Chain A
Amino acid sequence: MQNLNNHTRTGLLLKIGRQWALLFLFIELIFFSFMARGFLSLNVFQIIFFFGTAVFLLGTAELFAIITGGIDLSVGYVMGLATIVSAKLIVAFTKTGMGPGLSITLGILLTLVIGLLPGYVNGMLISKLNVPPFIATFSMLGISHGVSELLIAEKAAKNLPQLANTIGNGYFLYYSKGIGFSFFSRPEVARRVKVVEILPNVVVIAFILIAVFAFILNRTKFGQHTYAIGGNRDAAIRSGINLNRHIIKVYMLASFLATIAGVLYTLKYVTGKADAGASSLLDSIAAVVIGGASLYGGKGTVWRTILGGLIIAVLETGLRIMGIPTFDKYIIVGIILITAVLVDQFFPERTYKE
């Protein structure tokens, strides 16, 4: 970890201060293992990741915007738009007589291309036209929402081929005694025969992408420039970074990730829904902040954002198993957020760029 000033507060306190989020996650896990019946199981951990994918992906999208010193409020509704566009396209392709596999592939690919558009507009507004990111992306939130509603005003986005459902709710690996391991398809066994399901498909897809984007942020020039812009804009310009172009790319990337989240939603729930990502937006911003990124820009990492997302997801699932209304979640997340910012101020000199 490259750190400019790690001799000011050294020793154990510093280490704990830096890793407080990880520590907090551990405490959560231990707490729920004792308090929530059945919490400590492979099944529950997969549930946490399965339902956390939207927040993980939107959080990663948000992180890129936040590192540049901006914010992207539109990711939630861009995700919603993507669920509708992909569902409608897949249904349309199926109607032309295409096979389900081909329709799904084509529908998704086309959606991913269309999904770059909101990000491009956001980036243009923010960089070339100097619209504050909050306003630009807030407007895009409204536009995406409106377009989504228009698209389903006449006809709902549904009746997808069964295959979509199978992929979205399927697992990468299955294990059943006697049959052994099988990939992608659930072994044909009698009811009540125990089949261990390992790694939901959507989690595998999401984490491959998240790893790719973590690599981009951490190890490439693109990533370095992203940090540079957020850290010191003038210096970044002087060092020859094409600011406008970079900002546009960052917002396109955010909207691409939101589109991925939307496509995965479509596979999971075989429906397109305008507000599919609405509730995940605030969680994703919270995940980024808990992960130690600064809203002033310049710092934050993908893995810490995932950690932030996990803290929220574990909390939510644990409370649900205990039967505690998740209204309490809002309070706890609020407290964690304040803690995150205070801890950051107490250990100010860290940079998370490894």
Chain B
Amino acid sequence: MKKALMILMVLLVIFSMSANLFANGQQDKGKDEITMLFMPGVADPFYYMMEKGVRAKAEELGVNVIVAEYPKSWGPEVQVPILEATVAQGGVDMILIAPTAIDALVAPLKKLYDKGIEIITVDTFLGDGDYSKDSDYSFPLSYIGSDNEKGGREIAEHLAEMIGKKGKVYVNSTNPDVSSVMGRVKGFKEGIKEFPDIKLVGVDYNMDVQQKATDQTLAALQKDPDIAGIFATNVYSSQGAYQAVVNAGLIGAVKLATWDATVDMINALKKGQVDLVLAQKPYEIGYLAVEWGYKYLHDGAEVPKKVIPGFEYFTPENVNDPDMDQYIYK
């Protein structure tokens, strides 16, 4: 048995080495043909929306798009195997990826970069996201995504207005090591400091589990029943925190500002269960990533190290406005 397995392995190695040689010869494709791989962070409406943007621009420009399998949960141990297997089919010129951790993705992406594949990070970034100064993680062409700190600060201001600039606020976030949500929390903390009568009572991390966000928010409301405002930093936090406020019967008493305009959150806003929804522009992020990638690969254009589409805010006043409809993630 062991012998058979050994022989199998040796055969495989020899087989694969010879296959490698053949493969090199086969990969001549049309010079003008560009192939981009879109590697989403996790299966959620935000990235589905981004994929639509990627596909739309790619079709316009005649770029081939491979969409990698959507990871079923958030984390490098789920994303990296999918990334590597998908790239292994060959022919990929550029990867548009939402890295699921600021540090764990550096080595795997560097390896692909060294092989000649260009990288653009979308929605989340590597390291501190500053690719303009030389560092271990400065090899991606660009970060295309929201300015999360700015969004956090703006939400802080809006929430402060809503609660009359005084009282306790609470934050529910997802991961402490993912650039996007880290930025939102950081920005929110800075923003809330401007209001001396507002106290931030806590930040919880639900690790992308909605049920946990509900439990954590309920616990926070139990500990500080006079919480006046809650900021939820992404889809899971928003839907979880919203559920907790519903369960605690505090709708209306607690102002809920949430990030990410999923259909559920917009419906909640329409019903008056949520008070503010920040919409990022995933469609535009995907669209811009393909556009800049194409400009770089096809025309040799210089790509800005950061490309930042803005936000839109859904409020009870504008939620039924037909112009806003395009910003809902569907």
Binding site for B on A (CB under 8 A): 1, 19, 22, 25-26, 29, 33, 36-45, 47, 50-51, 54, 152, 155-156, 158-160, 162, 165-166, 168-169, 191-192, 195, 214, 265, 268-271, 273-276, 279, 301, 303-304, 306-307, 316-317, 320-321, 323, 325-326, 352, 354
Contact = CB atoms under 8 A, between A and B. Distances in A.
A40 B16 contact: yes
A317 B101 contact: no
Interface in B177-211: 177, 207
B88 A321 contact: yes
A319 to B, nearest CB: 8
Contacts of A44: 16, 85, 88
B116 to A, nearest CB: 4
B69 A326 contact: yes
Contact of A320 (B13, B69, B108): B69
B136 interface: yes
Given A29-B12, A169-B107, A321-B88, A38 B23 contact: yes
B2 A303 contact: yes
Q: Among B66, B85, B113, B115, which residue has the most Cβ atoms of chain A within 10 A?
A: B85
Nearest to A190: B114
Given A41-B88, A276-B77, A169 B108 contact: yes
B89 interface: yes
Contact of B177 (A22, A156, A166): A156
Interface residues of B, number: 47
Contacts of B76: 269, 271
A191 B85 contact: no
B82 interface: yes
23 contacts: A22-B4, A29-B12, A38-B89, A39-B88, A41-B23, A41-B88, A42-B17, A45-B12, A51-B84, A158-B101, A162-B136, A165-B103, A166-B107, A191-B113, A191-B114, A195-B114, A269-B80, A275-B207, A301-B1, A316-B81, A320-B86, A321-B88, A325-B69
Contact of B85 (A33, A195, A320, A352): A320
By Cβ-Cβ distance, the 6 closest A-B pairs, closest first, are A169-B107, A320-B85, A40-B19, A269-B104, A192-B116, A38-B89
B230 to A, nearest CB: 19
Contact of A165 (B1, B13, B106, B175): B106
Contact of A36 (B67, B89, B175): B89
Interface of B: 1-2, 4-5, 8, 12-13, 15-17, 19-20, 23, 66-69, 73, 75-78, 80-82, 84-86, 88-90, 101, 103-104, 106-108, 111, 113-116, 136, 175-177, 207
Contacts of A279: 73, 77-78
A125 B171 CA distance: 41
A49 B198 CA distance: 53
B69 A323 contact: yes
Contacts of B116: 191-192
A186 B74 CA distance: 30
B90 A38 contact: yes
A40 B15 contact: yes
B16 A45 contact: yes
B37 to A, nearest CB: 11
B2 A354 contact: yes
